[in-house]
Each structure stands twice: as C-alpha cells, then as structure tokens.
Amino acid sequence: MDRAQRLARLLRVLAAIIAEPGLNPLQLADRAGVSDRTLRRDLAQLREMGYEVAYTSGYEVQEKLNLDGRSRSKKRTSAEQTEIELLKAVAQAMGAAGLWRPVEQASASRRPRPVTTQETASSARPIVLIPTGAGDADFIYATGFDVEIGLYIWFAEKDDVLVASPLEIDRAREQSKATRVVVDRDTYADQAWARLAARMLREKGFTAARVSPNLAAAHLEDLRATGIEVEVDRELFRAERRRKSAEEANAIQDAQRAAEAAVVEVVTNLVEADIKDGVLWLHGSPLTSERLYARAQLLLGEKGFTCPEMIIAGSPESAMPHFRGAGPIKANAPVIIDVFPSSRTTHYHGDLTRTVVVGEIPDEINRMHAAVLQALDAGIESISAGVPGRDVHHGVCQVLVDRGFGTTTIGYEGPEGGPKMNHSTGHGVGLEVHEDPGLRASESRPLAEGDVVTVEPGLYLMGLGGVRIEDTGMVTKDGFQNFTGLTRSLDPRDYL
C-alpha cells in the first residue's frame, strides 16, 4: 500500500471518529472499513500526528481530538461540522480515485444486517465460547488457541472475534486463527466474560446464541440473565472434529510416535532392572511406577508432549483398567503401559497401550495375551467406512468369548469367574483423548472416512492382573490405516 492509500485510510478513521464519538473498536473499525488490528496501528499513527486518540481500559475507545470527549448528543459548531464534511469529502475523493473504498461501500459490506426469520434458526445463531480452562477442546478447535479464560464469538463466516486478557493478548495475536483479536482489561479484571458476550451480540443485532456443552453453568446463567436466548448445542463441532484433515492426522501420528518412544523408555528401564524377592530393582532401589512415570514424562517433555495421567500399572492392581500405577513393580506379573500424550503445540493426542512381563510369564497371562491379540487383529480387520461402531465391538467380544473368556457386554458374557473385558473396544482420538466416534455396544452410527479411533481389547481378573493392547489409526473407505508400528510382545526385550 502506497503513501496516498495510507493517508486515505487515516482520513477515513479520523472522519469516523469525529462524526461519531464514543464508538467502540468494533464499531469504529466497521465505520472505517478496516480490520481491528489495522485500526490499532492507525490510531497509534494518528497519535504520532498529534491527535489525542487513545484506548481506555476495557473495550471502549476514547477519542479526545481536543474535543474533551464531546457527547454525540451535543450539537456541533458550524466549524466542527465543516471539518467533518471536509474530511468525508477528502476520503470520498480518494476512494473515487481508486485509492480506497468510499465510507458507504466499506460500511455496507461489513455492517450487520437485520436478522431474518429464517436466520434465527439454530444453525444461523452466533456461537459463543468461553473456555472451561486450559485444554478446552471446542475452544481450541474454533480458535486455534489454548487459553485458560477468554471469549470467542463466531457471528458468520469470516466474521469472528477473540477477546483476550492483557496477559494473553500478544500470544493470542500470534497463535489464534480468529479474524479479529482484541483485548479487554475490565472484563478480565471483573471476570465478566458472559456480560461482554451479551453486549457484543446486541451490537451486532443478535439476541440469541449457541454455546458448547462444555460451557460452565455460571457463564450460562450470566448469559441468560442478560436476556440472551441461549441454546446448548450438543452437536457443536462434533461432525467437524470427527473427520480429521491431513494436517490433523499428521499431528496425531506425531503424538503416536511420541507415545511409542515413551513406551520404549519405560520398557528399557524394566529390562535393565534386577529381580530381588519378586520385586524389580534398578540402580540400588526398587523400581516403582513413579520412577517409570518420571522417565517417560521427561522423554515426552523433550519431544514437546505431555501425558500427566499416563498409566504404568503393575499387578495385581492392573486388573483395574484405569489404575494409574503406584509403588514397586513386581516381577513375573503383567505391567500395563498406557500412554496418550498431547502435543504442546498442536494439542492433538495419540493413544497407545502395551503389556509386558519381566521374568517368568504365567500361563494364564499368556492365554489372555494371545486372546487379546487375536481380538485386536479382528477388530482392526473389521473397520472400514460405513461399518457401525457396535459391529467392531461385538466382533472383538466374540473372539474373546470363543477363546474361553468373557465380557460385560450383553450377549457376550462368557464363563463366570474368569478374566473379562469390562470396557468398550475403542474411541475416537483428537483434541481430546476420548471423543467421537465410539466402538461400543450402543454405537449404531457408521464409521466414516477420516475418523481416528483406537482399538484396545483387554482382559482383567482381580487378584491376578490385566492385559491390554491398543493401536490407534484412521478409518478409510478400504479399511484401517494403522498409525502404530510398535511390537505387541509380552517380552520386554522385544521392544529394544
């Protein structure tokens, strides 16, 4: 953009300020036909030129211009009116010369129009997102930005805004994919995000909005208290988040490779351990779940990933599928290693489980492992686009029953008293480690191309322990693209 165009734009901003003192940033940007980010630069340049234009704290803009904050309702002097008309005329002349769009054209293209009856339908309502804390998957999906607190509103295609705190504004501008990114100090100080959302909606002519099911109840109540009609959209982003793009699939594969490296790190320590009185020792002290967890977390951190809830569970406690692990690791018994790291950059997860035994492998654990491995292969082979998730689960259950074990799924109970699978076969993976679609008995919806799912059969018996093997991959029209390449052996030496 050359000097004449920049001058024309500054004149437009100045004309809008003088014509309508008291506009907030969104309104001023709309009148001047510029983005919010451009407006900030233009106001800074106007200040350098001697005009007293300044943002106040919060979301308002104060325009002094040596007019002492004159109210819009106060009648202008003839000299002031002449100045306004002159500025408008200059701006319009620049537009006519092709250097900038006229005020009326720019405003018309950006000004919110009245909402029609048809547009008040659910799908046309704006989306309001206030994160529940760091890691809010819907907020990250919509904005590309992970933050503890803030506000995002999607009004329409290419018309969305992210409001950040002073603490986060610079990072938001660098990382967010929102069209506009603004700061609000007062709202941050007062934690009044819902009230700000209501005000911004009304400025655009909206009295209704959609929100994520993740929205905190307090924010929901605050929005409704302002008179905004709020719909909790249970389907918000579900279809979009299910079907991964090539970029998302690559991010999940990166996380899966990190998970494999973490499992190998854990197993390497297990192999290096000595057996003393039935317990593993390493470097002069008992090898505990906590020590293995620390080693795995260090490796993940060096690779840019984290997994605070990973499972490294010795036996017999590994019979509880979500037991995280605690205390010394016993020899001659299964150790379940379940790592589901998320990237600190992309926020996408991987998910991987392996079971190993240091020492002598009990016959019953060998039998359980062989059945789980066969069930895993059967589940993977049954996956393709169009297959309902429950069919995959039922096929896995049938293999386990045929091998003499049981499940808690109705119709596939198997014999009483023996090892059973007491969970679903798998789940979707993405910005959350557990998301749509599910591979479970109640899932009648068909799998679709682009779904990324786990397949993780397991068998568990209290007093003995558990065995679980889990791969993660993508559903294709022809089958399952497995993102996992790590051995499934019970022998930890096979991982090295």
- Asked whether the whole model's pTM tops 0.85, one would answer no
Quick one: 136 exposed, middle or buried, by C-beta within 10 A (0-12, 13-18, 19+)?
buried
Tokens, residue 385: 């686009």
* Domain 3-110 CATH (choose: 3.40.50.1000, 3.40.50.150, 3.30.390.30, 1.10.10.10): 1.10.10.10
118-236 adopts what CATH topology? Creatine Amidinohydrolase; Chain A, domain 1 (3.40.350)
Yes or no: say if 230 and 223 are a contact pair by the CB < 8 Å rule: yes
What's the rounded Cα separation, in Å, for the pair 164 and 167? 8
Cis link prior to 437 (omega < 30° from 0)? Answer: yes
In 287-360, the DSSP E strands lie at 305-306, 311-313, 334-339, 342-343, 352-357
The domain ranges of the chain are 3-110, 118-236, 242-495
What's the rounded Cα separation, in Å, for the pair 205 and 151? 18
Q: What is the pLDDT along the chain (496 residues), one digit of tens a residue?
A: 556 667 777 788 777 777 666 666 666 776 777 765 677 677 767 766 666 665 443 344 554 454 433 344 445 566 656 656 666 666 566 555 554 443 333 333 333 333 333 334 556 899 999 999 999 999 999 999 999 999 999 999 999 999 999 999 999 999 999 999 999 999 999 999 999 999 999 999 999 999 999 999 999 999 999 999 999 999 999 999 999 999 999 999 999 999 999 999 999 999 999 999 999 999 999 999 999 999 999 999 999 999 999 999 999 999 999 999 999 999 999 999 999 999 999 999 999 999 999 999 999 999 999 999 999 999 999 999 999 999 999 999 999 999 999 999 999 999 999 999 999 999 999 999 999 999 999 999 999 999 999 999 999 999 999 999 999 999 999 999 999 999 999 999 999 9
Quick one: 418 exposed, middle or buried, by C-beta within 10 A (0-12, 13-18, 19+)?
middle
Q: Tell me whether domains 3-110 and 118-236 share a fold.
A: no
Yes or no: say if 386 and 294 are a contact pair by the CB < 8 Å rule: no
Yes or no: say if 474 and 480 are a contact pair by the CB < 8 Å rule: yes
Q: Residue 462: what residue type?
A: M
Question: In this structure, are strands 279-282 and 465-468 parallel, antiparallel, or unpaired?
Answer: unpaired
| Total residue length of the chain | 496
Cis link prior to 316 (omega < 30° from 0)? Answer: yes
242-495 adopts what CATH topology? Creatine Amidinohydrolase (3.90.230)
Quick one: 20 exposed, middle or buried, by C-beta within 10 A (0-12, 13-18, 19+)?
middle
